[in-house]
A and B are shown apart, each in its own frame.
Chain A
Amino acid sequence: MIRVVLPFHLRNLAHVDGEVELDLAAPVTIAAVLAALEARHPVLRGTIREHGTLKRRPFVRYFACKEDLSLESPETPLPAEVVSGQEPFLIVGAMAGG
């Protein structure tokens, strides 16, 4: 079971409380997690990655196990701790302050 943590605004948009739990067959990649997430919550399509190109939106980041996975290939397998549900996969709105 994969645990996905959404940022505040996307939790509200998808009417989600807490984490989203997804069951995925191996191999569990960034792209597979996002596809399963969007299938569960179609309203999130286009908000994390662009329609069509499926490119990550510039101000969205992916974190897991204290690592920034944003620049990894979408086909990169996620760490074993994420696949086992021990650690969550975090989708984060990039910092923008001032």
Chain B
Amino acid sequence: MSTIRVLVGTKKGAFILTADGRRKDWQVSGPHFAGWEMYHLKGSAVDPNRIYASQSSGWFGQIIQRSDDGGRTWNTPGSSAEELKGPEGMPKGESNKFVYAGEAGTHKWYDGSQHPWEFKRVWHIEPSLTDPDTAYAGVEDAAIFKTTDGGKTWRELPGLRHTKGNLWQPGAGGMAVHTILLDPKNEQRIYVAISAGGAFRTDDGGKTWKPITRGLKSPYELPDPDAEVGHCVHRMALHPARPDVLFMQKHWDVLRTDNAGDQWNEVSGNLPTDFGFPIDVHAHEPETIYVVPITSDSLHYPPEGKLRVYRSKTGGNEWEPLGKGLPQKDCYVNVLRDAMAVDSLDECGIYFGTTGGQVYCSADSGDSWNPIVRDLPAVYSVEVQTLR
């Protein structure tokens, strides 16, 4: 029988939740890296036992951790004592060295002035779809880095920041690359999203990028609502079978594109509010998508204190609330942008974590929900591995 492994990053450590394909009885492992902020953990599609994790602290900065045994043990790539004996000689301890390429330059600051780029942390790690030693890191201040040696060293793909980066501006949560989508049909194509820089696409493996924001409107956030860059994109998602179709949860508005971002159209439809953070796609139905509506940019909790996922089976516009098993009164948690994921079992499982420390699982595509855990620290990220 298949095994499901849920990788949970929280404000105070990482947790690994495992169950068999029935998804009823869960084992909880953790906290790993107790006391550290774990922004994101993600496993390689090629080698599921290879997991990358972003560990950070306001005191001690960024650490990259890697597991090669499914999360049982971890190491900081290139820093272990064993590598003292290796042919490369003394370990350099550079797995946490994220230095912008060339002159770091400046971006727009809160007061409209230009501010130097300053690395703060890794928000998201996206392992390659074909090579376990290759992965991309989305960082704050917004940039994308790449490793090809299993995380020992990272180098920036600076073309992204050269795409009008001087006009990007942090929102209240900072300015970070939080979404990295790899096109499974075209290794050269990568999508990224930035709060608050917008959405971008490369078709040459990261050398050059272009904004993909036509159709986005941000009348309450930008002086020019149709600006090419600067939109506060909260999350994007795609189905691997149709990588030209993207879905987006923006600060306000849910949108889709059918041509790799060249034109976006709003599909908020009958949502009670189109503000929110995560968005995801059903594993087997490319037109079935999920969002978690949040009251507003001023009130980061569900409308009416009812936690409801909304599902559209029509690729947007027509939405249905899914609240069975979720708290339907007095619930004032948030669901952050990286905190929703799906498994790929025949009956697709949907997972999300909350800032209140709950991780919920639906083993029936969202029709009903059960908490896996209720009292973790605030959940930053949820990723799911389906192990067969």
Please determine whether B59 and A43 come into contact, CB atoms closer than 8 angstroms: no
Residues of B within 8 Å of A59, CB to CB, are: 58-59
Closest partner residue, chain B, to A38 (CB atom): B93
Residue-wise, chain B 40-70 has the 8 Å CB interface mask toward A (1 for contact) of 0000000000000000011111110000000
Please determine whether A42 and B58 come into contact, CB atoms closer than 8 angstroms: no
Please determine whether A51 and B90 come into contact, CB atoms closer than 8 angstroms: no
Interface status of B76 (Cβ within 8 A of chain A): yes
Contact with B94, one of A7, A10, A45, A50 (Cβ below 8 angstroms): A45
From known contacts A43-B76, A47-B96, A52-B99, infer whether A9 and B91 are also in contact, taking CB-CB under 8 Å. no
Please determine whether B63 and A13 come into contact, CB atoms closer than 8 angstroms: yes
From known contacts A9-B35, A39-B90, infer whether A45 and B60 are also in contact, taking CB-CB under 8 Å. no
Residue-wise, chain A 32-67 has the 8 Å CB interface mask toward B (1 for contact) of 000000110011111110111000010110000000
Residues of B within 8 Å of A94, CB to CB, are: 59
Interface status of A96 (Cβ within 8 A of chain B): yes
Please determine whether A48 and B60 come into contact, CB atoms closer than 8 angstroms: yes
Residues of A within 8 Å of B59, CB to CB, are: 7, 9, 57, 59-60, 93-94, 96
Contact with A9, one of B36, B78, B94, B97 (Cβ below 8 angstroms): B36
Interface status of B265 (Cβ within 8 A of chain A): no
Please determine whether B93 and A9 come into contact, CB atoms closer than 8 angstroms: no
Please determine whether B79 and A43 come into contact, CB atoms closer than 8 angstroms: yes
Residues of A within 8 Å of B72, CB to CB, are: none
Number of CB contacts from chain A to chain B under 8 A: 59
Residues of A within 8 Å of B78, CB to CB, are: 42
Please determine whether A57 and B93 come into contact, CB atoms closer than 8 angstroms: no
Please determine whether B62 and A46 come into contact, CB atoms closer than 8 angstroms: yes
**Interchain CA distance A60-B94 in the complex, whole Å:** 20
Please determine whether A51 and B94 come into contact, CB atoms closer than 8 angstroms: yes
Closest partner residue, chain B, to A42 (CB atom): B93
Contact with B61, one of A7, A38, A46, A96 (Cβ below 8 angstroms): A46
Please determine whether B93 and A46 come into contact, CB atoms closer than 8 angstroms: yes
Please determine whether B57 and A51 come into contact, CB atoms closer than 8 angstroms: no
Interface centre among A7, A42, A47, A57 (most CB of B within 10 A): A42
Please determine whether B92 and A42 come into contact, CB atoms closer than 8 angstroms: yes
**Interchain CA distance A44-B90 in the complex, whole Å:** 14
Residues of B within 8 Å of A8, CB to CB, are: 35
Please determine whether B93 and A43 come into contact, CB atoms closer than 8 angstroms: yes
Please determine whether A42 and B91 come into contact, CB atoms closer than 8 angstroms: yes
Closest partner residue, chain B, to A13 (CB atom): B63
Interface centre among B57, B90, B93, B97 (most CB of A within 10 A): B93
Residues of B within 8 Å of A38, CB to CB, are: 93
CB distance from B130 to the nearest CB of A (A): 29
Residue-wise, chain B 112-132 has the 8 Å CB interface mask toward A (1 for contact) of 000000000000000000000
CB distance from A43 to the nearest CB of B (A): 4
**Interchain CA distance A7-B58 in the complex, whole Å:** 14
From known contacts A10-B60, A57-B60, A59-B58, infer whether A44 and B35 are also in contact, taking CB-CB under 8 Å. no
**Interchain CA distance A38-B97 in the complex, whole Å:** 14
From known contacts A9-B35, A9-B59, A96-B58, infer whether A46 and B92 are also in contact, taking CB-CB under 8 Å. no
Residues of B within 8 Å of A44, CB to CB, are: 93
Residues of A within 8 Å of B63, CB to CB, are: 13, 43, 47
**Interchain CA distance A59-B60 in the complex, whole Å:** 8
Interface positions of A (Cβ within 8 A of B):
7-10, 13, 38-39, 42-48, 50-52, 57, 59-60, 93-94, 96
Could you list 22 examples of A-B contacts with CB < 8 Å? A8-B35, A9-B35, A9-B59, A13-B60, A13-B76, A39-B90, A42-B79, A42-B91, A42-B93, A43-B79, A44-B93, A45-B96, A45-B97, A46-B62, A47-B60, A47-B96, A48-B60, A52-B97, A57-B59, A57-B61, A96-B58, A96-B59
7 more A-B residue pairs beyond the given contacts A42-B91, A46-B96, A96-B59, with a C-beta to C-beta distance below 8 A = A8-B35, A9-B35, A44-B93, A45-B93, A45-B96, A47-B63, A59-B58
Closest 8 CB pairs of A and B: A42-B93, A45-B93, A43-B79, A47-B60, A59-B59, A42-B91, A42-B79, A93-B59
